[in-house]
Amino acid sequence: MKRSELIKQIRTKQSFLCVGLDPDLAKIPKHLLELEDPVFEFNKGIIDATKDFAVAYKPNLAFYECLGIQGWKSFQKTIEYIPKDCLVIADAKRGDIGNTSLYYAKTFFETYNCDALTIAPYMGSDSVKPFLNHENKWAVVLAMTSNQGAKDFQFIESKKTPLFESVVRKCIEWGTSEQIMFVVGATRSSDIAKIRALAPNHFFLVPGVGAQGGSLDEVVKYGMNSDCGLLVNSSRGIIYADTTEDFKVGAKKEASKIQSAMDMHLRRLS
Amino acid sequence: MKRSELIKQIRTKQSFLCVGLDPDLAKIPKHLLELEDPVFEFNKGIIDATKDFAVAYKPNLAFYECLGIQGWKSFQKTIEYIPKDCLVIADAKRGDIGNTSLYYAKTFFETYNCDALTIAPYMGSDSVKPFLNHENKWAVVLAMTSNQGAKDFQFIESKKTPLFESVVRKCIEWGTSEQIMFVVGATRSSDIAKIRALAPNHFFLVPGVGAQGGSLDEVVKYGMNSDCGLLVNSSRGIIYADTTEDFKVGAKKEASKIQSAMDMHLRRLS
């Protein structure tokens, strides 16, 4: 998906919501477990319930891989089921030496035809660049994550520059805002502003709103740009809003609530 | 596999060779492409040819994932075919927030029953610790890699400490030498010595000998400890030593040559 198409979708749906598809067999509604492919049936229900309110879906690969080959089948069916007007982000946190990264790019951009893939930057340029050669596909590079452990390395300072800033500075040398997005956690708003100053045009994929304590208002205040520039993710808050047979109703309600708040923020933009 | 068992294998085979299983359909012998599962047939041939000289095998997941579900079938068959006395390292460079890392650990340590998994440390403690709770399984954390891009972030200094040192320092607080190994590239020998000083008992998985320019003698000089403490990986140098129908002969010859050099180094230890 082109950047301009993503922006158009955001305006059409008045939403910058990304729904995280993290199907956990221990948490999904019990009645689905009797079906042939519970993971896909769950995702299908969630997608049906939320597609009017979401511009992106983000399946987290760990939840598919742990089921072995059946999990990959569910992943593939899910990707194919997501409406074509939505961005598909494979949340797989890949990254390796150049030759290997080429094959990861092939996996997610060709074999599974996803639009975007999350990338861990620790191994540097040759681990990121192979993901930039696919037209209208995105490398979503971890910059500042929302988890507790983010502090261990991402905030280590060298000449007063924390590591996450060095990652952003380097990445914007390697690729444009048509090729790279950044994962920017919602939990530290002043740092969102720092990254926005460095990368004014890049989209940010923002986890950590809701359950992890981040605030949508703060993310918008410090992270939004004139094209919106944000995809705010919610996984558990939406998909497990209701874990009974009525899970679609619960997911729809929650997604709709978030979309309404986003709509208000987007109205101020235009 | 327990650390003591790994050390015993090293002594039994007089080898600390790890063979990287990176099967690339464009490179494997042409006659295999006619078979039902060329990737597995290739790996089977390589394992048969090298198992007397290798103590570990390291399939690189990118080469399996890019083939879709068939690739995961080949991966699973390969894991099952590797002799039980060899350590199986899934080279998958995983790492995510705690809840997700739990599922990656389950994937590789339970679903596929590998002994070890490579881990990218960028997201910090909660991305690494979930891999430490499986008995006799290993997290092989990227410390200093052998690729060109390693310089971009791993060598950034804070208070004269490069990032890779901070990673090692933190990780040895989180897990013992029975739980964690480090990826330490062969291409910068003085830095191998630094990491050995910080982590005297941990095993190092060492890529970069051969094609990438690292020297076995230097790695041994700066990295070996009294238990050996090294697994030196060779992928392309062995598996593509000969890409004709005689590929097994070429792989065996190359693995045997490396094992002979390792034997000499190990004799000096005892």
Output the DSSP codes for A125-178.
HHHHGGGGSSTT-EEEEEEE-SSTTHHHHTT-EETTEEHHHHHHHHHHHH--TT
Of A66, A97, A152, the CB nearest to B124: A152
In DSSP terms, A232 is beta-bridged to: A17, A206
| Contact flag B68-A62 (C-beta cutoff 8 Å) | no
Residue numbers in chain A where pLDDT is lower than 70: none
Q: Which strand (E) or helix (H) includes residue A234?
A: strand A230-234
Determine the angle formed by the axes of helices B38-50 and B69-81, rounding to 10 degrees: 20
- Interface test with chain A among B153, B158, B168, by most A beta carbons within 10 Å: B153
Sign for the CA dihedral angle at B117, B133, B173, B229 comes to negative
Output the pLDDT for position A212: 77
CB contacts, 8 Å: A91 with chain B:
96
Nearest to A137 by CA among A112, A159, A160: A112
Report the gap between the CA of A44 and the closest CA in chain B (Å). Answer: 21
Structure tokens at B249: 């002969």
CB contacts, 8 Å: B121 with chain A:
122, 152-153
Nearest to A124 by CA among A60, A167, A160: A167
Of B94, B152, B158, the CB nearest to A93: B94
Catalytic residue (one of A8, A77, A93, A253):
A93
Output the pLDDT for position B187: 87
Residue A101 C-beta-side C-alpha neighbours within 13 Å? 27
Output the pLDDT for position B20: 98
Determine the angle formed by the axes of helices A216-223 and A189-198, rounding to 10 degrees: 30
Cα A69 off chain centre by = 24
CA distance B198 to B141: 15
SS (H, E, C) B198-232: HCCCCCEEECCECCCCECHHHHHHHHCECCECEEE
- Is there a catalytic annotation at residue B84? no
Residue type, A22: D
Output the pLDDT for position A208: 86
| Contact flag B121-A123 (C-beta cutoff 8 Å) | no
Structure tokens at A5: 């198409």
Pairing relationship of beta strands B87-94 and B116-119 according to DSSP bridges: parallel
Tokens 């979401």, residue located: A54
Structure tokens at B159: 């208070």
Catalytic residue (one of B73, B93, B253, B257):
B93
Residue B110 C-beta-side C-alpha neighbours within 13 Å? 12
**Residue A177 backbone phi and psi in degrees, to 5:** -75, 0
Q: Which strand (E) or helix (H) includes residue B253?
A: helix B247-269
**Residue B45 backbone phi and psi in degrees, to 5:** -60, -45
Structure tokens at B230: 């090294």
What beta strand segments (E) does chain B contain?
A: 17-21, 56-59, 87-94, 116-119, 138-144, 157-158, 161-162, 180-184, 204-206, 230-234
Output the pLDDT for position A248: 98
Of B94, B142, B147, the CB nearest to A126: B147
B66 touching chain A per CB within 8 A: yes
Report the gap between the CA of A188 and the closest CA in chain B (Å). Answer: 15
Nearest to A83 by CA among A127, A117, A49: A49
CA distance A13 to A109: 25
Structure tokens at A130: 């192979």
Please report the ipTM that was assigned to this predicted complex: 0.95
Residue numbers in chain B where pLDDT is lower than 50: none
CA dihedral B16, B20, B21, B25 (to 10 degrees): -150
Per the CB < 8 A criterion, the answer to whether B244 and B29 are in contact is yes
DSSP for A24-88, written as a single string: -TTTS-GGGGGSS-HHHHHHHHHHHHHTTT-SEEEEBTHHHHTTTHHHHHHHHHHHHHS-TTSEE
Return residues 207-246 of A near B (CB < 8 Å): none
| Contact flag B103-A73 (C-beta cutoff 8 Å) | no
Per the CB < 8 A criterion, the answer to whether A197 and A150 are in contact is no
Output the pLDDT for position A61: 98
Residue ranges in A82-124 assigned as alpha helix (H): 98-105
CA distance A55 to A71: 24
Output the pLDDT for position B222: 96
CA distance B243 to B250: 8
Structure tokens at B90: 């899934």
Structure tokens at A132: 């930039």
Determine the angle formed by the axes of helices B247-269 and B3-13, rounding to 10 degrees: 110
